[in-house]
Amino acid sequence: MDNQAPAVTFQPPAKTNLSPALLSGTVDDSRTTITINGIVAQRDGLNFQAPIPLTMGANMLHVVAVSPRNLRTEFDRTVTRGSVPTLQSMQPANRSKLYIATAAGIQMSASDQNGDSMEYRVLLDSQPVTSWSANSTQSWTPGTAHGGAHKLQAEVRDGYGGSNILEIDVLILRQPVLPP
């Protein structure tokens, strides 16, 4: 046992959209008790983590570390909780027909209350068919394995945790054969 206050490493994100936010850090003694805003952190060796509820806007976090010899380290950090972006609309419209081997343009419209930059992607039956991109218009070409009725989803995120999905029904068909 030593006569020094616990050494704590704790760098929460400056901003998150999540609540509770799972915050973590390390301490130099596995027997030290850590609380964040009065919530006792779970321990795994020298690591600790705690799910901390956050309100919208700036949140003060008060961290207290108490060693087995009752030596204390206390400090404060601030985390800002933002909002998850919202999808307003997507094209094609609900119950649209898409065609195998024909590129489908998917247009997404979203907003973020905090003005954060956003990323978009497209999913088919909850499986990504495009990668995350800052472009709100994306293209995807259904293959022969995609024929039939499906859920086409647009997803938006802002990089601070959480995402929103807008879903439509689509029918994927073979291209009609026109008579000569």
Tell me, yes or no, whether 63 and 101 share the same domain: no
pTM here is 0.79
Of 81, 107, 132, the residue at which a domain comes to its end is 81
What CATH number does the domain containing 72 carry?
Answer: 2.60.40.10
- Cα separation, 158 vs 163, in Å, equals 8
Dig out the tokens for 64 from the structure.
């207290």
Residue 6: is it exposed, middle or buried by C-beta count within 10 angstroms (0-12/13-18/19+)?
Answer: buried
One domain for residues 32 and 92: no
Q: Are residues 162 and 91 located together in one domain of the fold?
A: yes
What average pLDDT does this structure show over 97-104?
97
Domain total for the chain? 2
Same domain, 42 and 106: no
The whole-angstrom separation of Cα 170 and Cα 148 is: 8
User: 81, 111, 129: which is the final residue of a domain?
Assistant: 81
pLDDT at 3: 86
66 and 31: one domain? yes
Residue 66 has pLDDT above 70, yes or no: yes
In this structure, the answer to whether residues 30 and 64 fall within a common structural domain is yes
**pLDDT over 70 at 1, yes or no:** no
Q: Answer with the one of 81, 108, 138 that is the final residue of a domain.
A: 81
Q: How far apart are CA 118 and CA 123, in angstroms?
A: 17
Domain that holds residue 50: 8-81
Residues 48, 126, single domain; the answer is: no
pLDDT tens sequence across 23-56: 999 999 999 999 999 999 999 999 999 999 999 9
